[in-house]
Amino acid sequence: NLRDGGPVIIHSRRGQVRTQARISERVQPGVVFLSFHWKEAPANLLTQDFALDPLAKIPEYKVSAIRLENPSRRA
C-alpha cells in the first residue's frame, strides 16, 4: 500500500520515475496525476511520443498506462 508522503515508483512501458506520493480525494480512484514541471520526477519519461491524436496530430502526453510500486515493499 502507498501512503501519503511516502515514496512511490511509477512504471510505464517507456520508463520509470521515483517520486513522493500524495494521496488526495481530488483525483478519481484509478487515476494518477504527475506534474511535468519538476526535473526530479520527469513525467515525460513515462509518456508516449509515437501515439498521435487523430485530429490534432500531436503526441498523447497526458494519457499513459502505468503501474505504481511501493519501493519499501521490494524484497
Q: How far is CA 38 from CA 17, 18, 34, 70, in A?
A: 11, 12, 10, 21
Residue 3, pLDDT > 90, answer: yes
pLDDT of 24-51, one tens digit each?
999 898 899 988 777 777 887 888 767 7
Question: Which of 15-24, 41-50, 66-75 shows the lowest mean pLDDT across its residues?
Answer: 41-50
Residue 51 in grid coordinates: 501515439
Per-residue pLDDT band for 75 (boundaries 50, 70, 90) equals low
Domain ranges of the chain: 1-70
1-70, what's its fold?
Barwin-like endoglucanases (2.40.40)
Give residue for cell 517520486.
19
State pTM to two decimals: 0.78
pLDDT at 57 over 90: no
Task: Report in angstroms the alpha-carbon separations of 56 from 20, 35, 39, 44, 63.
Answer: 33, 23, 27, 19, 15
